[in-house]
Amino acid sequence: MVNTALMRCPNCGHDNPEGTLFCEECDWRTDQAVRMKLGINSVYMAYIALALGAVAAILSYTGYGIVGMILGAAGLFLGTYCLKALRLSGVKGGVKTTLLAMATAAMLLSVFGLMYGLTAL
Ligand SMILES: [Zn+2]
């Protein structure tokens, strides 16, 4: 960790006092380690949510509505968490686009699994 008197916000360029966790100007999370952790989490969550959503959709479609509903709810929850972690992590560019697409697909599949599971009850 670099010891500087000021921490420049990577989002808006505002100089914050050392140790500030949120930018005084734009509320950006300035803690690099936390942002990196959130970024890594969002990658895991995107994969898990996508897997849950896909399994939920397949199970609901093949008659396992209750299991599909539960997995769909879990996939939806993880997809939401992924989007939140992604936004807070400040991940940008192609990685962000990919993760956004994955989380969106995961949530759509999860909703499908949830709804289809409901109708199959
Ligand atoms: Zn800022």
pLDDT digit string, tens, across residues 8-65: 877 788 888 877 777 888 877 667 778 888 899 999 999 999 999 999 999 999 988 8
Question: What spacing in Å lies between the alpha carbon of 15 and ligand 1's midpoint?
Answer: 8
What is the percentage of the chain residues whose pLDDT exceeds 70? 95
- Looking at residue 89, what is its pLDDT? 86
pLDDT at 92: 86
Q: Tell how far the Cα of 9 is from the centroid of ligand 1, in angstroms.
A: 5
| DSSP characters over the chain | ----SEEE-TTT--EEETT-SB-TTT--B--HHHHHHHHHHHHHHHHHHHHHHHHHHHHHHTT-HHHHHHHHHHHHHHHHHHHHHHHHHT--THHHHHHHHHHHHHHHHHHHHHHHHHHT-
Taking ligand 1, which is a single-atom ion, which protein residues have CB atoms under 5 Å away? 9, 11-12, 14, 23, 25-26, 28
Q: Does the global pTM surpass 0.85? A: no
- Mean per-residue pLDDT for 70-74? 96
Ligand 1 centroid vs 10 CA: distance in angstroms?
7
What pLDDT, on the 0 to 100 scale, is given for residue 1?
A: 47
Distance 115 CA to ligand 1 centre (A): 41
8: CA distance to ligand 1 center in Å?
Answer: 8
Which tokens go with 28?
A: 């950006």
- Sign of the Cα torsion 69, 73, 78, 82 reads positive
Confidence at residue 90, expressed as pLDDT on a 0 to 100 scale = 82
Query: What residue segments make up the domains of the chain, in order of their start?
Result: 1-30, 32-119
